[in-house]
Chain A
Amino acid sequence: EAGVVQSPRYKIIEKKQPVAFWCNPISGHNTLYWYLQNLGQGPELLIRYENEEAVDDSQLPKDRFSAERLKGVDSTLKIQPAELGDSAVYLCASSPGGGSYEQYFGPGTRLTVT
């Protein structure tokens, strides 16, 4: 079974530039999560989708971050414009849904903003 796929794995951009991350969850998983992980810290939830509906985006900085999951499958997270403080690892995870607890994480995208 293929795991959660994320791309790109690494991205270096200059501040004020836009950037986008893509995630393809495990087939059949209805719930999709985007997390931000700073160095030496645990992941912090940005947004959670149940199918195509964003059910928890309270931690998403909506002035510069946006996300979509149009067909309830893959998802894109965008930052525009990026700031120096956005340098972090962006993790995508999925779970079967229906209240399932176990999350399956992708390898993450390491973003460096210079």
Chain B
Amino acid sequence: SQQGEEDPQALSIQEGENATMNCSYKTSINNLQWYRQNSGRGLVHLILIRSNEREKHSGRLRVTLDTSKKSSSLLITASRAADTASYFCATGGGYQKVTFGTGTKLQVIP
């Protein structure tokens, strides 16, 4: 079963624009992670945000977490064609079961 649901399911933007995707989850969490999946590199861990954090940055990535709304967002700034991929949120990890969301398919048009 999927814990999270990403929104939108698909997103198409021009290179240089920002991309925002959202994740809603169902149960209380200790942390939330974002992964990227493309045909070239498979599934890759991007960033982890803990339940006591509200915002985290890593390069062009910005992740927010609102535990009261059980939601998270991933912002990719100044997108590049190489950012074309599917993006998944995931809850759990460590000694807890990891549950992935349904994913957002991002297409960045050069």
Give the Cβ gap from A93 to chain B, nearest Cβ, in Å.
8
Give per-residue flags for A92-114: 1 if the beta carbon is below 8 A from chain B beta carbons, else 0: 01000001111111111000000
A interface residues, Cβ below 8 angstroms from B? 33, 40-45, 48, 56, 91, 93, 99-108
Stretch of B12-20, B37-45, B73-81 with 4 or more beta carbons under 8 angstroms from chain A: B37-45
Report whether B102 and A42 are in contact in the complex, using a CB–CB cutoff of 8 Å: yes
Tell me the interface secondary structure of chain B in the complex. Answer: strand
Give per-residue flags for B86-102: 1 if the beta carbon is below 8 A from chain A beta carbons, else 0: 00101001110111111
Contacts of A41 in B (CB 8 A): 2, 102-103
Give the Cβ gap from B26 to chain A, nearest Cβ, in Å.
14
Instruction: Tell me if B61 counts as interface (CB < 8 A to partner A).
Output: no
Question: Given known contacts A91-B43, A101-B48, A107-B42, is B103 in contact with A42 (CB within 8 Å)?
Answer: yes
Report whether A99 and B2 are in contact in the complex, using a CB–CB cutoff of 8 Å: no
Bound-state CA distance A56–B78 (Å) is 40
Pairs across A and B, CB under 8 Å, 30 listed: A33-B98, A40-B102, A41-B2, A42-B4, A42-B88, A42-B90, A42-B100, A42-B101, A42-B102, A42-B103, A43-B43, A43-B88, A44-B1, A45-B97, A45-B98, A48-B97, A56-B97, A91-B42, A91-B43, A99-B94, A101-B31, A101-B93, A101-B94, A102-B33, A102-B48, A102-B93, A103-B45, A105-B43, A107-B42, A108-B42
